[in-house]
Structure 1
Amino acid sequence: MNEYIYPLNSGIEFAEFKRLSLFKQMNVPAKLVTRMFNPQLHRFIADLPINDESIINMFDFFQDAVNLTPKKALIADAKINPEYEVSPDSTVSKSYKGDRLVNRIIFMAGTYGQLDTVEYFDRYQNLTKAEVWDWRGFKSCTKYYDINKHLIHEEYFNTQGSPVLEFGYSNVDSNPENITFIQLTSRDGYKRYFENIDELFTYFLQQLDQSSNEPNTFIADRPLSTYAPVLALSNETRKFIYLPMLQTDSKYSLVDGALDEIYTQAFKPENLAKLTGIIVATEQQKLDIERRVKGQVAVYALPAATIEDQLPKIEGVRKNQIIFAGRLGNGKGITRLVDVFKIIHNHETGLVLKICGYGNVKDDAKKAVEKAGLKDVVKFEGYLKPTELISEYFSSKLFVTTTEQDVEPLAMTEAAACGLPLCAFDVAYGPAEIINDGKNGILVSDGHNQELADRIVKLIRNPTLLQNMSDDARKGVTRFMNSNVSQMWKEQIVNR
């Protein structure tokens, strides 16, 4: 269970993609379930390691648009009044009644005339409504606005054009907290009302659960949006929650520290009793959670970071560069990485640091790079597709992360599979379960920037040791291969 899928995804989504691959390998039917409205969802999927058959979205479900054969909606489908004069454009066409703008016809970026949104304006040039078209070629939603351009009402349609969902909003904005009502019209014409999106999502999951004649297993991955709806399912349904982040608000009080607020509701005794189990990515986190829940619920450690059974063939030439890949977010230590690299650069001036990823601290990291005078040797590559990232791994000598916390860095296993020794601080939880210090990488105490930098410099200057660590990195990562992790899933979850 997740909230959304976008072109740029986090570790939670990529862990789900890997999990779906495992289930497919095990011949276990599985789907990734999302709840947010996204008319271009199935466009994004084409660039991800999943397909339409492996995902089901709440709006698709109610709109009878699951496994829909796509077509292209063009300007003719918008049914613009033929008496209006159309000013054509490849991005936004406009229709006029005399000299008055009536419509803006917006096309999807990167397409030739495929409808995205058709906007309607009144005689005073106020936006009154906008028709939103699905990537697969049907009018999916109409949004209505008041005179101040505030969204006040939405209608969602099935593929035949009949309204199936309505959302009402207070005239402030379209924030989910300002929903005044949701109306769902079923196929038999029966109307159901919900107060918020959480209630609708809970009902959706119940419908999914009831649509199968076999017992279902639900795994909730996003704490704030999926835990409560999954907990509300029937007692006969197997229900797991996955912990994507540290369970406490302090990385030094992992067993008895105050729970992070995203977990407090699920960890209440009455809710733990509803669960089949809690899933985490590492053995150490499993031990800490078991000490916290004291036998109230089973806890399972199942690696989120998995790789193909066939390791990638080493290709290309290792450049004089080291690499980090991951989300550039709080807790990832990106500016600390710049500090460590500055020490390294004092000894290895020709070495380049590649930072691959996106996130809210990118600007801060760039400022730190400029302040340190490293602009010429620190390169921000942004978000890379998997094939592009593998190419960067093959071009690098080391993978370095200075994350302050991470339940299991997925990029580390992928980098190791490409023969990169791994360098990190010993923080909760993932690095210590992947790095064997001195064998397949470098692991130092948290915050010891100088030690990490000094050891990286020595490693870079010792080609024999670097090659030995590269070989050990590929050997050590075999325990994360799909065949090994799928066996763990069979034994602990699927066949129980």
Structure 2
Amino acid sequence: MIYFINEYLMALNSGIEHAEIKRLKLFKHQGTAAKLVTRNFDQMLYANKQRFGVEDDQIVNMYDFFQGVVDRKPVGKNEPKIESLHLADEYNVDPGADVSHVYDGDQLVMDVHFAPGTVGQLFSVDSFDRYGKKIQTSLWDFRGFKSRDQFFSDSGELISQVTYNPAGERVIEEYFNHDQDGNNFLSLIQLMDYHDQDLFFNSYDELFTFFLDELNRADGEHATFIADRPGSAYDTMLSMATPARRFVSLPTTHTVDAKDQVYANLSGIYANPLVNHIDKINGIIVATKAQKNDLTLWMGGADKVKVPISVVPFSVVSDEQIRAKRVPLTDRKHHQVIVVGRLTKERHTEDVVKAFIGVKQQVPDATLAIYGYGDQEAALKEQIKTADLTDSVQLMGYVPALESVYNNAQVYVNATESDSEPLALAEALAHGVPSVAYNVHYGTAELIHDGRNGYLVADGDVNGLARGMVRGLQDSNWSQLSQHAYDSVRAQAETNVFARWKQALKL
């Protein structure tokens, strides 16, 4: 079995998770068993995997594993409901769409929260003491069983939490304490009656490492693990006690200086797998040849590289999309520019908005749609308002399925300061959208052939972004750019990407 290691699969995800989702579908299409492994407790995991088309046999979560519910299905649509709580007859319920308040006379005793996207399905219940302090929260798994209780101190800090299996038996107990600075921290985890033993762990990483070893033991200690998320995924895989084939993928640039990937200091998140414990891995996977070359130089040259560095595109274009009918300009929204990505500082979406002011001066009917989420959303709203662009620039939020968005767009823009390989850029090109991007490490220069399928711009050149967008919006130039965009992602076609994976993992 091949396992891709992460911490979570959430309702809102980053490029790492989207790359993994595409990879799972790729391996499924190619008849090779692979699973996403996640660590964090998540009562909505079943709903999230349904949302992204991840099949039941393509993901295994640590808590699900120990609860014995990896293959469990929901008990029914919108079940269970508040009636299953069997509230006391004297309680009064003030109903609401998202939360119902439960009173004993004038005293609030419970807040009953309902699962997102459902009609009255139990999600969590907060219980209050007579002073109005929350003392306990009970959580229901989306599949319909009570999965956890959390207990709180008078000051509102988490004291302990207990995770249950569907039979109501305790599976995992977690205890919290204060450090010398008074900060609350996890002090002990107890795995209850696991193969007739109670096992104790000091951290989530310790428990996760044990879980990975259990997966490997179940596979006869012949499993292959690829750690995709720096930090917990790397360190826990490196700490495994059982023999396994272990690889790390690099989802970002590898040094602390985005502009210098050869001589700058290594980013701390990569220190353990690439330096301190490189003897524990079988290989390194990067998305571009340029990053492989730079990482090789950073390590001191090819003769100093201790494990193979393989190039495997993180973006995957389905064979179906490669064969899809090409969408002409007449079937797209005229002069529509799009941005797709997280709204964070390093993505510099504010540069796109600045550039769009100049675009509007030359293409008055141009519109800009920004898809994504992040901590810069409020700042972008204010920037759009200040620039008097509210009629032509929209923040669209996070949208999981973007095929129609790409097929309606005329130009895609990426202003990130660094990446491993911009997934949305590859997706836009695969849908025939000419693209404009800063020429940065990594991926933009590999994907954009300047003047053929889009335009590369010097990093930070906002005026250059504007010029690129205007050129991409010119109707006389667009059809040729679009045809080249469609043709430029052959290397990301699923057959080619899987061949790279086979070579990297020696399948």
TM interval, shorter chain, is over 0.9
Cα distance in 2 between the residues matched to 1:191 and 1:102 = 35
CA displacement at 1:170 relative to structure 2: 2.0
1:279 aligned residue (281, 285, 298) = 285
Please list the CA deviations of residues 108-167 of structure 1 after superposition, one character each: whole Å capped at 9, or x if unmatched: 233233111223333444322221111111110011112222211111111211101111
Deviation at 1:457, TM superposition (A): 2.3
Which amino acid in 1 is paired with 2:254? Q
SS at 1:359 equivalent: coil
Counterparts in 2 of 1:277 and 1:91: CA distance versus 1, 3 Å: same
Equivalent of 1:41, from 45, 61, 64?
A: 45
Q: C-alpha displacement at 1:88, in angstroms? A: 4.7
Q: Write out per-residue CA displacement over residues 251-281 of structure 1, whole angstroms, 9 at most, x where no aligned residue.
A: 2220121111211222224x01111111111
Q: Counterpart in 1 of 2:423?
A: 410
SS of 1:279's equivalent in the other structure is strand
Q: Distance in 1 between matches of 2:122 and 2:285?
A: 42
Question: Could you tell me whether the CA contact under 8 Å between 1:323 and 1:354 is conserved in 2?
Answer: yes
Task: Choose which of 122, 128, 143 in structure 1 pairs with 2:150.
Answer: 143
**2:71 aligned with 1:64:** no
Match of 2:16 in 1: 12
Aligned residues: 489
Is this contact kept in 2: 1:126–1:149, CA < 8 A?
yes
Distance 1:454 1:105 in 2: 54
Residue 267 of structure 2 is aligned to residue 260 of structure 1: yes
Shift of 1:476: 1.2
Provide the secondary structure at the position in 2 that maps to 1:251: coil
1:380 and 1:92, CA in 2 relative to 1: closer, same or farther beyond 3 A?
closer
Secondary structure of the corresponding residue to residue 210 of structure 2 = helix
- State the AA in 2 paired with 1:6: M
| In structure 2, C-alpha distance between the alignment counterparts of 1:52 and 1:226, rounded to whole Å | 21
Structure 2: 5+ residue runs without aligned partners? Answer: none
Counterparts of 1:264 and 1:329 in 2: how far apart (Å)?
24
- Separation (CA, whole Å) in 1 of partners of 2:325 and 2:415: 28
In 1, the alpha carbon distance for the partners of 2:67 and 2:21 equals 25
Question: Given that residues 146 and 171 in structure 1 are in contact (C-alpha distance below 8 angstroms), is that contact kept between their aligned partners in structure 2?
Answer: no
Does residue 336 (structure 1) correspond to residue 374 (structure 2)? The answer is no
2:320: which partner in 1? 310
Deviation of 1:375 after TM superposition, in Å, equals: 2.6
Q: Which residue of 1 aligns with 2:497?
A: 485
Write the deviation string for residues 444-464 of structure 1: whole angstroms up to 9, x where unpaired. Answer: 322333334234324433x33
Partner of 2:258, secondary structure, is coil
Q: Percent identity?
A: 36
Look up the match of 1:213. 220
Structure 1 stretch displaced more, 123-132 or 322-331: 123-132
Q: Is the 8 A contact 1:423 1:442 kept in 2?
A: yes
Whether 2:375 is the aligned partner of 1:364: answer no
Shift, 1:295, TM fit: 1.5
TM-score for the superposition, normalised by structure 2: 0.91
Q: Is the 8 A contact 1:426 1:446 kept in 2?
A: yes
Task: Flag the 1:278–1:176 CA change in 2: closer, same or farther, 3 A.
Answer: farther
2:400 corresponds in structure 1 to 385
Q: Is the 8 A contact 1:170 1:178 kept in 2?
A: yes
Q: 1:400 to 1:167 in 2, by over 3 A?
A: same
Match of 2:411 among 391, 398, 404: 398
> Which deviates further from its counterpart, 408-417 or 182-191?
182-191
Give the CA deviation at 1:222: 1.1
Q: Secondary structure at the match of 1:380?
A: strand
**Structure 1 gaps, min length 5:** none
Look up the match of 1:182: 189
C-alpha displacement at 1:234, in angstroms?
4.1
One-letter identity of the residue aligned with 1:134: D
Judge conservation of contact 1:151–1:171 (CA < 8 Å) in 2: no
**TM-score, structure 1 normalization:** 0.93
Q: Deviations over 1:387-432 (max 9, x none)?
A: xx22222222111112211111111111112111111121111101
Whichever residue aligns with residue 305 of structure 2, its letter is G
1:205 and 1:251, CA in 2 relative to 1: closer, same or farther beyond 3 A? same
Change in 2 beyond 3 A, CA 1:234/1:25: farther
- The residue identity in structure 2 corresponding to 1:297 is V
Deviates more, 1:377-386 or 1:307-316: 307-316
CA distance in 2, matches of 1:446, 1:96: 59
CA distance in 1, matches of 2:55, 2:183: 29
2:486 is aligned, of 463, 474, 496, to 474
- The residue that corresponds to 1:456 in the other structure is 469
| C-alpha distance in 2 between matches for 1:216 and 1:295 | 24
Contact 1:318 1:397 in 2 (8 A): yes
2:32 counterpart (28, 31, 37): 28
Give the C-alpha shift of residue 176 in structure 1.
Answer: 10
Q: CA deviation at 1:179?
A: 0.8
Does residue 201 in structure 1 map to residue 208 in structure 2?
Answer: yes
Matched, 1:129 2:136: yes
CA spacing shift, 1:75–1:453, aligned 2, 3 Å: closer
Aligned partners of 1:337, 1:90: CA distance in 2, in Å? Answer: 38
* Contact preservation (8 Å) 1:155, 1:165: yes
CA gap of 1:194–1:400, structure 2 versus 1, over 3 A, is same
Distance 1:97 1:365 in 2: 45
